[in-house]
Amino acid sequence: MKKSALVMGGVLVLLAGCTGWHGGVARDGADTFSQRADGRTGAAAGADRLAVDIQFLDAFAEEISAVLLEAGVLAQRTGGRTGFTAEDLDRHAYLMFRFQLCRSALWDIAESYRSEPALLGRRTDRLMAQLISIRTAMQITYSDSQFLLHFHDHEESRAALNHGYPLAGLEAGTYDAILETALDPANLDARDAAWHYFLAETAPGGDIGRAMEDDASMRAMVESIHLYHTFGEAAIERLLGKRGVIFPAFENRIRQSLAAGALKAAGEAGLTGVKALGHFSVKLVRPLTHSPLARPTEFTRDQVDLMKTLIQPGDILLTYATGNLSNLFLPGVFKHGMVYAGNDLQRDTLQIRHNWKDVPRRQALIEAVGKGVIWNDLDAIVGQKITRLAVLRPRLTAEERRGFLQGVYDYLGHPYDLRFDFSCTKRICCTELIYHTLDGRGGIRFPMVMRFGMPTLAADDILNYYLSAPEGPFSMVFLGVPEQDSHAGTVLTGADADSRLRTLLSR
């Protein structure tokens, strides 16, 4: 598999390009709702954005540490064996899936800062953005090298990790592709160049060095980058030795030469200081992961207003949304699930009990994302990088609906489940929130799908369940998708929505 074609973990796989839909609400030529004046499409901005991304980095660092620990145990248990069982293959696939999911999420963070630091107003925010970018790059290369080392000497384990796993979107040859990119001289070049600029900018006379004198969070970020680089460098050296890529006596000399060439080219391009730091940190990450980002569907304000009139409390929203950490789940045409909780009047009418002080007064959603089970807003969701949106309504009595929504409210504040373990409710992923609160109500029996030898429920599984019995426990409210050969949005209902959904899910 070529490096340029490497699709990390399947969690960002986009199935696009469908034809033959008709009906629905056509565009009226008005300004599209999804475009914002600052170009951020509803995302958190400034210091808030930075704080959220730092939380994500810490969360994924914790999960990657757990994955690496499990990788070491798995390598010890299976390293000397041949003839893996189906359970052994599932364990390797599950580990690779979780590892790739974290890598893809880290990639999205790094990629989001490629051009956006200019949108950050304060100088200290721009400097922190560059530190986040290089920490992400170093965090990925550190975890890559550690993961690769666990299985490098075990041929059977490497074969299992290279095995394709369509249900999880894992491509065949993934382990070898990561190994190839990790040891690519161009990547080592970018790593050394980024490190050179990092040292210069964090020195007492550098921009970051001066700024972090009175900024504890910036000092902590710098310290973490040092640690990731130190341990990552040691692991890379071990991998180079195992692969026999180059004689150790000449290795540093050649890598210094590569870095010098990169630094000269950067200077000729006018890149110095912090700008060069950002350039090389992103250049370092780009070859290691491939994150195909689709252009969002552009819904007009009239279309969004129509959605608001159609949706009711207790409706389920299933989406594919491009962008940072929006699709942390199993691959599919639709990846994310949310529950519409209603506006303040609707919530009061339903008499939902809650202890939350900061309840949104507008049309509120509850969803499980990287930072846990949280509130969101319908306007913000549609205004972000939504590619497609399906809304289903469970056929429930008033009391069943109230019980369902009460259960959803009770999960607010729970942490996100990066392991997708549907048997445990201490941590919750997006469709777990739907499954644990809705399964068994109104005749709903979700069909669990075995992945990695464990039962799971993806957004596509829910939609296929609906299509298997359109007169069953769900009804279609509407489907928001792009028009044919266009990014302009259309809102479909009834038979048109069902027909278009079948076409999407069949691809």
276 and 322 housed in the same domain: no
Look at residue 430 and tell me whether its pLDDT is greater than 70. Answer: yes
456-484: average pLDDT: 92
Instruction: Kindly tell me the burial class for residue 452, based on how many C-beta atoms sit within 10 Å of its own C-beta (0-12, 13-18, 19 or more).
Output: buried
6-34: average pLDDT: 27
The answer as to whether 31 is a domain residue is no
Identify the top-confidence range among 102-111, 175-184, 223-232, 422-431.
223-232
The answer as to whether 320 is a domain residue is yes
Give Cα separations from 417 to 81, 93, 102, 227, 369 (angstroms).
Answer: 31, 18, 12, 27, 9
274 and 381 housed in the same domain: no
Q: Provide the pLDDT for residue 46.
A: 57
The answer as to whether 49 is a domain residue is no
Q: What's the angle, vertex CA 295, arms to CA 292 and CA 298, rounded to 5?
A: 155
The answer as to whether 386 is a domain residue is yes
pLDDT tens-place string over residues 358-388? 555 566 889 988 778 888 888 877 766 678 8
Q: Provide the pLDDT for residue 361.
A: 57
pLDDT tens-place string over residues 330-347? 667 898 899 998 877 777
250 and 386 housed in the same domain: no
User: 356 or 149: which carries more pLDDT confidence?
Assistant: 149
* Residue at 3: amino acid letter: K
Lowest mean pLDDT among 14-23, 297-306, 398-407, 419-428: 14-23
pLDDT tens-place string over residues 260-319? 555 555 555 555 544 555 555 555 444 433 333 456 788 888 998 899 899 999 999 999
| CA–CA separation, 186 and 267 (whole Å) | 18
The answer as to whether 424 is a domain residue is yes
Q: Which residues pair with 319 in a beta bridge?
A: 336, 389
439 and 355 housed in the same domain: yes
> What's the full length of the chain, in residues?
507
Look at residue 30 and tell me whether its pLDDT is greater than 50. Answer: no
Q: Provide the pLDDT for residue 222.
A: 94
334 and 388 housed in the same domain: yes
Is the distance from CB of 11 to CB of 100 less than 8 angstroms? yes
| CA–CA separation, 341 and 346 (whole Å) | 8
Measuring CA to CA, which residue among 239, 129, 151 is closest to residue 188? Answer: 239
Look at residue 472 and tell me whether its pLDDT is greater than 70. Answer: yes
Among residues 247, 265, 288, which one ends one of the domains? 288
Report the number of distinct structural domains present in the chain. Answer: 2
Is the distance from CB of 445 to CB of 468 less than 8 angstroms? no
pLDDT tens-place string over residues 36-58? 222 223 344 556 778 878 887 88
CATH number of the structural domain spanning residue 426: 3.90.1720.10
Residue 118 confidence class, pLDDT cut points 50, 70, 90: very low
Measuring CA to CA, which residue among 268, 242, 267, 240 is closest to residue 254? Answer: 240
The answer as to whether 305 is a domain residue is yes
| CA–CA separation, 226 and 279 (whole Å) | 19
364 and 498 housed in the same domain: yes
What count of other Cβ atoms lies within 10 Å of the Cβ of residue 87? 10
| CA–CA separation, 102 and 8 (whole Å) | 9
Instruction: Kindly tell me the burial class for residue 125, based on how many C-beta atoms sit within 10 Å of its own C-beta (0-12, 13-18, 19 or more).
Output: middle
310 and 281 housed in the same domain: no
323 and 177 housed in the same domain: no
Q: Whole domain around residue 274: which residue ranges?
A: 61-114+133-288
Q: Which residues pair with 291 in a beta bridge?
A: none
Considering the chain, what is the average pLDDT of its residues? 76
Look at residue 147 and tell me whether its pLDDT is greater than 90. Answer: yes
428 and 500 housed in the same domain: yes
Q: Provide the pLDDT for residue 262.
A: 52
Q: Provide the pLDDT for residue 353.
A: 74
Residue 395 confidence class, pLDDT cut points 50, 70, 90: very high
Instruction: Characterize 385-407 residue by residue with b for buried, 16 or more Cβ atoms within 10 angstroms of its Cβ, and e for exposed.
Output: bbbbbbbbbbbbeeebbbebbee
223 and 244 housed in the same domain: yes
260 and 343 housed in the same domain: no
Look at residue 249 and tell me whether its pLDDT is greater than 80. Answer: no
The answer as to whether 355 is a domain residue is yes
pLDDT tens-place string over residues 349-358? 777 776 655 5
- Residue 378: what are its φ and ψ, rounded to 5°? -60, -45
The answer as to whether 415 is a domain residue is yes
Q: H helices within 152-215, ranges in order?
A: 155-162, 174-182, 185-202, 207-211
Q: Provide the pLDDT for residue 331.
A: 65
Q: Provide the pLDDT for residue 94.
A: 85
User: 457 or 7: which carries more pLDDT confidence?
Assistant: 457
Among residues 262, 288, 314, which one ends one of the domains? 288
250 and 391 housed in the same domain: no
Among residues 261, 288, 315, which one ends one of the domains? 288
